[in-house]
Amino acid sequence: MTDIKKTSAIDTDWWRGAVIYQIYPRSYQDSNGDGVGDIPGIIQRLPYIARLGVDCIWISPFFTSPMLDFGYDVSNYRDIDPMFGTLSDFDRLIAEAHGRGIKVMIDLVLSHTSDQHPWFKESRANRSNSKANWYVWADPKPDGTPPNNWLSIFGGSAWEWDGERMQYYLHNFLIEQPDLNFHEPEVQEALLDVARFWLDRGVDGFRLDTVNFYVHDKYLRDNPPLAPEEINDKTAPAVNPYNFQNHLFDKSRPENLDFLRKLRRVMNDYKGITSVGEVGESQRGAEVQAEYTSGGDKLHMCYDFALLSNEIPSGVHLNSVIETFDAMSSDGWACWAFSNHDVVRHTTRWHLNGTLQRLYAAVLMALKGTVCLYQGEELGLPEADVAFEDLQDPYGKRFWPKFKGRDGCRTPMSWTSGKANVGFSDGKPWLPVAPEHRRLSVAAQEGDPNAILGFYRRIIALRKALPALQKGSYIPLVAEEDFLVFIREYQGTRVFCAFNLADEARRLELPAGNWAHVPDAPFNSTIEAGRATLPPYQAVFATARDA
């Protein structure tokens, strides 16, 4: 470990417009044959990641954990769970990734811990110990029922009775994931020290899980119901009654901003650090995104579920998402993703064929904001169908069969078609390999010039070659259901971006300027005499520089 980040010259703005590659470590590469991916496995695959061309990897939790929620239930913030490796393995990962020019972000879970964490064991012992107020405890109503109507995302009441303290404790997720009490200053300081621990080990930033859940309403007021027409399934599946409430008091509280400012001050003590907050908010996601990233004193960027939902992103919808965020925060920054470890893979969710997968990948790379890709997205992997008897996810078990949980997007990465378990592990994988993923393996696509993996490499390279696509402003020109046109502008250079989402060719005049077709753009569109022609499901990129 070194403190080089505190002193060396580093591009502190590297994250703005970067491409981040999310790794779900249980399912990426197993190095020891136990069927679970690990940190040495990630190190083994760094050459592949470097060739993909991404700027940074985000690794989902690897902390010591009972694994009831697969690492999102932390029992020790300062160590690696043995199934993933050791702190020495992590230090080697940092060194080797940095040696290849790849930044490393880790997933910090601060809103809650495991019930096996020493903090919670002490807190539940009695009402007078030094950590008695570190979690959200409340007396029952006179009739013995929970303190209020708050619901858990994983189903049922968000309150669990504890016979040790004879009180209820709050859990927004599993019963075994008690919520920390951010109204307690000592809790905040302990969590800031956790951030310092990992920053001192050389991480380049944090993905902050459920960042808007940190602070609860200290008066424990009931959430009001939503009108039927206001209910949506952006945060929880449609079968979950969690969607029926307007979550005014159990999350997204204004006091959260003070903690985010403290966290930003910690990060500012190190050079080149960034943060991405996950905003689980169905009613006002863009507003919270803007709040949390504005002013330069809170988070660097946030994402909500606007592009992770079931709504197929038309040109109108995509433009609305970008313009809404821009209107709410002139100095904030967003992060966009189509897939991650919590949602059905977008290839399946939006019923995309190979042509549309490529087109939407190009859209994502052209949007204003930072981009997150999820492992296997670059292979065009569809959602796996996991049988109930193989299911691991408690969320899926709770709401089966209408909601099958998150295991379908978490199955092993497909490396080599002809090998047992597609090259992921020599042992039995913790989740079964999806048969349809075999033909889409990395090895199978490496030899195919028309494969989607090659397309992702080219479109990522295109974004990195055009600074306007990374850091530029967004100027909308056309936003129709099946047609989206905009300009990205940065330091006197403009990039014209048009996307034909329809099965008929489109033609349009380019704005005034000396436009040149981007030669490396992997599409069949043409530009001639100031006019662009886009075949069905194709895009066009052109550049012009101000005189």
C-alpha to C-alpha distance for 183 and 215, rounded to whole angstroms = 7
Active-site residue (options: 81, 89, 176, 278): 278
Contact present, 133 and 184 (Cβ < 8 Å): yes
Phi, psi of 532, rounded to the nearest 5 degrees: -105, 140
Is position 342 annotated as part of the catalytic site? no
Tokens at residue 427, please? 């042992």
Print the SS3 string covering 103-158.
EEEEEECCCECCCCCHHHHHHHHCCCCCCCCCECEECCCCCCCCCCCCECCCCCEC
Which of the following is catalytic: 55, 179, 209, 377? 209
Is 477 within 8 Å of 504 (Cβ atoms)? Answer: no
Asked whether 311 and 241 are in contact (CB, 8 A), the reply is no
To which H or E segment does residue 296 belong?
A: none
Q: How many residues does the chain have?
A: 547
Tokens of 412: 């092993």
Which residue in 364, 376, 314, 319 sits closest to 337, CA to CA? 364
- Enter the tokens of residue 531: 């006019």
Start-to-end C-alpha separation, the chain: 49
What are the angstrom distances between the C-alpha of 518 and each of 440, 513, 515, 542?
A: 29, 15, 9, 5
How far is residue 372's CA from residue 377's CA, in Å, rounded to a whole number? 10
509 is catalytic: no
Q: Are 415 and 441 in contact (CB under 8 A)?
A: yes
As a whole number of angstroms, the distance between CA 115 and CA 117 comes to 5
DSSP conformational letter for 38: -
Q: What is the DSSP string of 179-214?
A: BB-TTSHHHHHHHHHHHHHHHHTT--EEEETTGGGS
Catalytic residues: 209, 278
